[in-house]
Chain A
């Protein structure tokens, strides 16, 4: 049986998830040059917000009705926390040396995890999330698409398209571009840069919430530490694609996801590499790829070489 199409689909679904989360890293970095390490936790909070919304819905609500509401609920929670974090944790440090907000982000990440752990009912272990019921879609003999994967295949391009149009066409989007090019000059031109920065955090959080709903629907569970590892992978995807570039985030995510799936499936079939294949080495190969890409293109796949202000 040829499992290549199936493994490609797996990698693509995983990569799209990384990409959606990576948007948050890349937008914030593009505008304030801050690596928001708490973004993984924003993703996690989006998941818990969606779950809370689901529990508020009357029993027996069809998932098709529930999912849009869950996305909205999750996005509200994620955006609220992200903008609050921006206002109270990052804004006071805006003039500070770069390391200060970075450490703050790490502290915030731990704080958010522990808050959910301590105060969300039953969140000390994984909590169940509504799952798609029913069989997967069979496209060909050896290609099955899970319902949750189909969900992300539809949603991820839509989100990207919407974001692309917003950034290039709308007034706020162009203000965002201006701010990312030069914050001080943008301010002189009458752009309210504080508002733009909040907007970048909010958009990233909303995308993370979408990703969290897709994740929950797929895995059937969410837990308070799920943001850590996924956040790290998404950050990697953002760097791989060229941090600061929104399309780069999605490309980086997909490349990373495909690399993981391929290395799990095929590395061990290369003669002499049996010991280096399988799930145990997937992360190693993903990072080997990252290093190789950064050696050839230090700015990432779609990144632009910018004067580093660090």
Chain B
């Protein structure tokens, strides 16, 4: 009996493994079969499963839309775009494995992703040594493009192949501090972060700017990702007598933290970065998030004239998940790769050169177009030159934009 179950188990596993490998080899086979058109694959790496999958699916679908749009309008004559989306589950090690896989597929000329700054750290080196272009729609940690010593004013670009359409946390954290201090008239803030690259970085930048403006940080605490009971931290916030909370982290923890702080009876708002700007921040933890704030990069996609077409196309595309917080940036990131490929192909008589990857990276720094989120172009560090930001507030169960401005230092 026991041996039989073991046999069945082994059979199932072997069959599964064979099916998976079969899928892999078929994908690679497809590209060589193309007769008249060259196939260029745009890699996508994002958390497609797990608690951040709402954002990841939005990224994947938006890049898919960019590729389909380019194919339909024949944006790059003679080139057919495809996407290959891999799931990193917001885990750095998975990101690195995915990066290696994408580098191994010679048709991949650019990768959109990842969502998390921590995952990006593990991918940058892999892409850079293969000269493969990476454009992140969502990474906001400054050190990714400006080196580890950015805070001391010593800016040094670590990886030439890394670009991003999202503004950095420096811009976002300072903008949040200015809003809390100048617009919301908050003076005593309690700062909580989730110890991740994104959250801790953002919280530190916010704290520094808030103190510079004249406010006080009355306490700090850290939470652990995937934990759900923050009642002890919430009571510390209350005991500290803070008039506001700043949270550096993502929406699963942010929503619960805000909810639990309000349940202690402290009627104070929580503010966070683009990591909490998601409908799930509100929906997943009751209705008591009213009055909370989030900053996000760019102007509200729904309000930009340039974005109307994107929204209409996305709706027409019949995607199951919404484009979420990074849809516009992902579309622009995908389009950046398409534009870079277009420039390279145009300079080489309509064909891909042998060192296509290297040339695509070089072409990206000169890319400039009107995208979904505004003018898309990159500075000498690979950061977007678009520094528009918006503060959103939870009102009646939805995010309402309350202030949009171009960041000034």
Contacts and interface: CB of A to CB of B under 8 A. Distances in A.
A127 B5 CA distance: 36
B228 A226 contact: yes
B338 interface: no
B222 interface: yes
A136 interface: yes
B373 to A, nearest CB: 24
A34 to B, nearest CB: 16
B248 to A, nearest CB: 13
B68 interface: no
Contacts of B224: 279-280, 282-283
Contact of A126 (B222, B233, B252): B252
Interface stretch (B46-54, B139-147, B210-218, B353-361): B46-54
A224 to B, nearest CB: 9
Contact of B286 (A215, A220, A228): A220
B222 A279 contact: yes
B220 interface: yes
Interface string B1-34: 1100100000000000000000000000000000
A95 B263 contact: no
A136 B284 contact: no
A229 B252 CA distance: 15
Which of A126, A229, A282 counts the most chain B CB atoms within 10 A?
A126
A3 B236 contact: yes
B306 interface: no
B232 A128 contact: no
B232 A220 contact: no
A168 B90 CA distance: 48
Contacts of A287: none
Given A92-B1, A124-B53, A221 B284 contact: yes
Which of B221, B232, B235 has the most CB atoms of chain A within a 10 A radius of its CB?
A: B232
B239 A3 contact: yes
Interface stretch (A172-180, A258-266, A291-299): A258-266
Interface string A144-164: 101000000000000000000
A127 B227 CA distance: 16
A264 B221 contact: yes
B220 A229 contact: no
What does DSSP make chain A's interface, helix, strand, loop or mixed? helix
Interface string A206-240: 00000000010001110101101110000000000
B286 A131 contact: yes
B259 interface: yes
B226 interface: yes
Contacts of B195: 280
Contact of B259 (A220, A230, A260): A220
Contact of B284 (A10, A220, A229, A282): A220
Interface residues of B, number: 39
A128 B286 contact: yes
A220 B51 contact: no
Contacts of A290: none
B223 interface: yes
A109 interface: no
A23 interface: no
A6 interface: yes
Contacts of A215: 228
A14 interface: yes
B404 interface: no
Contact of A221 (B192, B233, B236, B285): B285
A41 B361 CA distance: 46
B118 to A, nearest CB: 16
B314 interface: no
B280 interface: yes
B388 to A, nearest CB: 28
A95 B2 contact: yes
A265 B49 contact: no
A215 B256 CA distance: 12
Given A7-B232, A220-B286, A136 B265 contact: yes
Nearest to A93: B2
A6 B235 contact: yes
B105 interface: no
A96 B5 CA distance: 12
A3 B227 CA distance: 22
Interface in A246-293: 260-261, 264-265, 278-280, 282-283
B150 interface: no
Interface in A78-107: 92-93, 95-96
A214 to B, nearest CB: 12
B265 A225 contact: no
Nearest to A3: B239
B196 to A, nearest CB: 11
Nearest to A264: B232
Given A92-B5, A125-B280, A225-B51, A14 B229 contact: yes
B236 A219 contact: no
A13 interface: yes
A19 interface: no
A10 B231 contact: yes
Nearest to B257: A279
A144 B49 contact: no
Interface in A116-155: 117, 124-128, 131, 135-136, 144, 146
B230 interface: yes
Contact of A225 (B226, B231, B236, B256): B226
B264 interface: yes
A135 B285 CA distance: 16
A267 B283 CA distance: 34
Contacts of B236: 3, 264-265
A279 B221 contact: yes
A279 B226 CA distance: 13
A7 B235 contact: yes
7 contacts: A96-B2, A124-B53, A136-B263, A136-B264, A221-B255, A221-B285, A225-B51
Given A279-B230, A280-B222, 11 more contacts: A3-B235, A6-B239, A95-B2, A125-B51, A136-B263, A146-B263, A219-B228, A225-B50, A230-B228, A260-B232, A265-B232
